[in-house]
Structure 1
Amino acid sequence: MKHVSKFLVFSAVLALVLNGYSCKKSSSDTNSYTAIKEKFGTRIDPTNLANYANQSKPAYITKDNTGSNRITNAKATLGRVLFYDKQLSINNTVSCGSCHIQKFAFGDTALASLGVENGRTARHSMRLINARFSNEEKFFWDERANTLEEQTTKPIQDHAEMGFSGQNGRPGISALLAKIQGINYYNELFKFVYGNTTVTEARLQECLSQFVRSIQSFDSRYDIGRAQAPQDQQPFTNFSQQENVGKNLFLTLPQFDPQGVRVGGGLGCAGCHAPPEFSIDPNSGNNGIVGVLNGTGIDINNTKAPTLRDLVGITGNPNGPLMHTGAIKT
């Protein structure tokens, strides 16, 4: 009987311990990601993330500048939050998405985008669509960033754009890192993605670049035609005769006589903007217009350009002016 009593007491204690553990675990699960839920509601569910990593793309798209920073749903999600958060600017008024607007192919219709305290960008904001598939791996119009990772935090540290420049009395990026680390939903997001709450510039770059590389567009009439044709040079069945003539002019090199006068052939646009990605060739040079807005002289240095995809929006209007100076309107 003594053995039975001891067993019953032990069982009762064990049940209470397990029940208490179960209650604590359930309570913890229920309250997890509270700051994320409070800030984003149902837009972000860490247990069921949006698909950034495994989006489909046409088989004829072969360029990819991802390198070792492969897209993951978790890091791209954090990157998207960072991209649209105005708290990444010195006065909480400007985000990456302020100058790279989704409905304009992540570009801007303004000639020069508005930064903090009425600052203006030196060049027209580049469309970010299909940045992952660019043949030129350097970024910015003047190619001053060797990688997309390097590019992502430079606007944050630009005095006119987002303001953490460390110049003229303003703090540098270390102040931003501390600022982010003091925000509850970032504590939860960084813990979810990295296992701890530490915020570094390298982590910002990793996540922001993953989100930017996830922005893709392959639903144009060109893509419909290219999917049905074995190569670009063949007529596309969904193009009009005039559109196919225009495509051939774009693809075909011009012919010149000994005096350098064009006597035939096409326009050779594809020499710099090769299909199917229509990104800029790394060896392309500037066409001789000024290097920056309100600048003087000409710029003949190598120059980055965005893809020619999504030049026009679904309304038929251009997604902003063209060239790094916005000099061309249509």
Structure 2
Amino acid sequence: MSHTHPLLTTLFKTVGMLLYVPLMFSCLEDDGDEVPETPIFGEGSFSTEELNTLQQTLNLQATPFNYANVTLPEHYLETEALEVDNTPANNAIKDMGATLGRVLFYDKNLSANNTISCASCHQQNAGFSDPDKLSRGLNGETTRRNSMSLINSRFYEAERFLWDERAATLEEQVLLPIQDHIEMGMDLAELEAKLQGLDYYPILFTHAFGTPEISSDRIAKSLSQFVRSIVSTDSKFDRALKDAGVTFVDEDVPKLTLLSEQENLGREIFYNGYKGATCSYCHGGAMNVNDEAKNNGLDLVYSDNGKGEITGRDSDMALFKVPALRNVALTAPYMHDGRFATLMEVVNHYSDNVQQHPNINFRLTTLDVEDTHGPVMRLNLTRSEKEALVAFLHTLTDDTITTEEKWSDPFKN
């Protein structure tokens, strides 16, 4: 029987464990088949060796940009931004995940002939939209619709994406252009193998997900993290609300001192029902987004029936997703088909030219009663009122969106 003192027994056990831990890790390091996982994937920094490999192709630094911990302004929080956030529980934004997403977003290797990237049709200097009426794909063919801005995609509560809302989530949406035969023309299995052969991706995937495995699921998740990180919070309108201490923007907002008289009149038209205007019903709150497809009376008869082509329901014919308006002054041309070249043309439509389509949204009718189809509304805004509304829309421009390096092209060539 041992008579070792209890304190000595505890000491021996502690020393034994201390000796075992480094021995265990040294065994892992010696095993050439073992790939050490990042302790907390999605965070951390690149090693010097990894950075040397990455910087042969990419303008990346050892520590990634902050994508995950962005502070939203009070007027976002007061308008329930967090409640409408469509970020899924299994794909929270991580710095390394969004960094990988940024590289994928700008990489033309995602197209079959290495000529088109996501950024080809969602350009940073155009508010992550396409300045062309219709986008051009890998063989020069044009797409059917204008490319919608990606700003504030995180706050589409209903989660459905694309003009016809055929994508149920952002994770689903980001893979569709890659596979589209006009846009990028890639098979996902072939894409996985292609990216595996590029030396920067195993490093990026390891830091984003813990292992170097490349899969379409991981591609979708990282692209979605990057897109959700593109949030506008520093427009002139944001600064005016902050200066006034205003957190609720839809009704009874006093004149904002940082806005001009013209811009304040435009804000009143947009938010407060001036002359019956209903802009904020479809583009309301601080994020200027909406969660339902609508018909806005562009035509009596449509050649493109939007959501109705997906569902086949008569009530969905000629309904289209309502885009966010942040940086709208930079995202011309406008509408699903890019028919309007300027914001003044858009305002003229809503003031004077809304058409009596059977599925016209009730907010654009004189009855203003849901599920009714009364006569369309004619606001008959004066020229100065139209100019004021356009001036207000310009206050939604956030220059950080177009200039921040963390959303820019990381490729050296």
> Is 1:105–1:127's contact at 8 Å kept on the other side of the alignment?
yes
Whole-angstrom CA distance in 1 between matches of 2:50 and 2:259 = 53
Q: CA deviation at 1:103?
A: 0.4
User: Are 2:116 and 1:89 aligned?
Assistant: no
> Is 2:293–2:322's contact at 8 Å kept on the other side of the alignment?
no
Q: CA deviation at 1:86?
A: 0.1
> Is 2:64–2:99's contact at 8 Å kept on the other side of the alignment?
yes
> Is 1:79–1:204's contact at 8 Å kept on the other side of the alignment?
yes
> Is 1:273–1:281's contact at 8 Å kept on the other side of the alignment?
no
Residue aligned with 2:266, SS:
helix
- Name which of 172, 188, 196 aligns with 1:173: 188
> Is 2:203–2:212's contact at 8 Å kept on the other side of the alignment?
yes
Residue range with higher mean Cα deviation, 236-245 or 203-212: 236-245
Corresponding position of 2:222 = 207
Structure 2 runs not aligned, ≥5 long: 1-25, 30-46, 343-413
Whole-angstrom CA distance in 1 between matches of 2:163 and 2:128 = 15
* Deviation by residue 1:200-245 (Cα, 9 ceiling, x = unmatched): 1110110000000111222222112222234323221222333222
Corresponding position of 2:74 = 59
* Deviation by residue 1:240-295 (Cα, 9 ceiling, x = unmatched): 333222222222347xxxxxxxxxx43111111112111124253353444649xx
Whole-angstrom CA distance in 1 between matches of 2:281 and 2:303 = 22
CA 1:283 to 1:323, structure 2 compared with 1: closer, same or farther past 3 Å?
closer
CA 1:230 to 1:125, structure 2 compared with 1: closer, same or farther past 3 Å?
closer
Whole-angstrom CA distance in 2 between matches of 1:212 and 1:30 = 28
Whole-angstrom CA distance in 1 between matches of 2:325 and 2:303 = 20
> Is 2:292–2:322's contact at 8 Å kept on the other side of the alignment?
no
User: Are 2:326 and 1:309 aligned?
Assistant: yes
Whole-angstrom CA distance in 1 between matches of 2:142 and 2:326 = 26
* Deviation by residue 1:3-26 (Cα, 9 ceiling, x = unmatched): xxxxxxxxxxxxxxx9xx9xxxxx
Corresponding position of 1:3 = none
Residue aligned with 1:155, SS:
helix
Aligned length: 276
Whole-angstrom CA distance in 2 between matches of 1:115 and 1:72 = 30
Whole-angstrom CA distance in 2 between matches of 1:30 and 1:250 = 52
CA 1:192 to 1:240, structure 2 compared with 1: closer, same or farther past 3 Å?
closer
CA 1:30 to 1:278, structure 2 compared with 1: closer, same or farther past 3 Å?
closer
> Is 2:270–2:279's contact at 8 Å kept on the other side of the alignment?
yes
Corresponding position of 1:112 = 134
- Per residue, is there more helix in 1 or in 2? 2
User: Are 2:263 and 1:247 aligned?
Assistant: no
Whole-angstrom CA distance in 2 between matches of 1:121 and 1:162 = 11
Corresponding position of 1:36 = 54
Corresponding position of 1:14 = none
Residue aligned with 2:70, SS:
coil
- Name which of 273, 279, 287 aligns with 2:289: 279
Give TM-score, length-normalised by structure 2. Answer: 0.62
Structure 1 runs not aligned, ≥5 long: 1-17, 22-28, 165-171, 255-264, 314-318
Corresponding position of 2:339 = 327
* Deviation by residue 1:108-155 (Cα, 9 ceiling, x = unmatched): 110011110112111001111111123441110110101111100100
Whole-angstrom CA distance in 1 between matches of 2:320 and 2:213 = 36
Output the amino acid matched with 2:149: R
Whole-angstrom CA distance in 1 between matches of 2:317 and 2:270 = 23
Whole-angstrom CA distance in 2 between matches of 1:276 and 1:284 = 20
> Is 1:113–1:125's contact at 8 Å kept on the other side of the alignment?
yes
> Is 2:320–2:336's contact at 8 Å kept on the other side of the alignment?
no
Give TM-score, length-normalised by structure 1. Answer: 0.77
> Is 1:143–1:302's contact at 8 Å kept on the other side of the alignment?
no
User: Are 2:181 and 1:153 aligned?
Assistant: no
> Is 1:278–1:307's contact at 8 Å kept on the other side of the alignment?
yes
Whole-angstrom CA distance in 1 between matches of 2:88 and 2:303 = 30
> Is 1:136–1:282's contact at 8 Å kept on the other side of the alignment?
yes
- Name which of 164, 167, 180 aligns with 1:142: 164
Corresponding position of 2:378 = none
> Is 2:86–2:154's contact at 8 Å kept on the other side of the alignment?
yes
- Name which of 198, 206, 217 aligns with 1:191: 206
Corresponding position of 2:120 = 98
> What is the percent sequence identity of the aligned residues?
41
Whole-angstrom CA distance in 2 between matches of 1:190 and 1:231 = 41
Supply the RMSD in Å over aligned alpha carbons: 2.4
Whole-angstrom CA distance in 1 between matches of 2:173 and 2:134 = 18
CA 1:253 to 1:116, structure 2 compared with 1: closer, same or farther past 3 Å?
same
Whole-angstrom CA distance in 2 between matches of 1:273 and 1:34 = 46
Whole-angstrom CA distance in 2 between matches of 1:97 and 1:135 = 24
Q: CA deviation at 1:185?
A: 0.9
Residue range with higher mean Cα deviation, 205-214 or 176-185: 176-185
Corresponding position of 1:125 = 147
Whole-angstrom CA distance in 2 between matches of 1:241 and 1:291 = 41
Whole-angstrom CA distance in 1 between matches of 2:222 and 2:247 = 36
CA 1:177 to 1:251, structure 2 compared with 1: closer, same or farther past 3 Å?
same
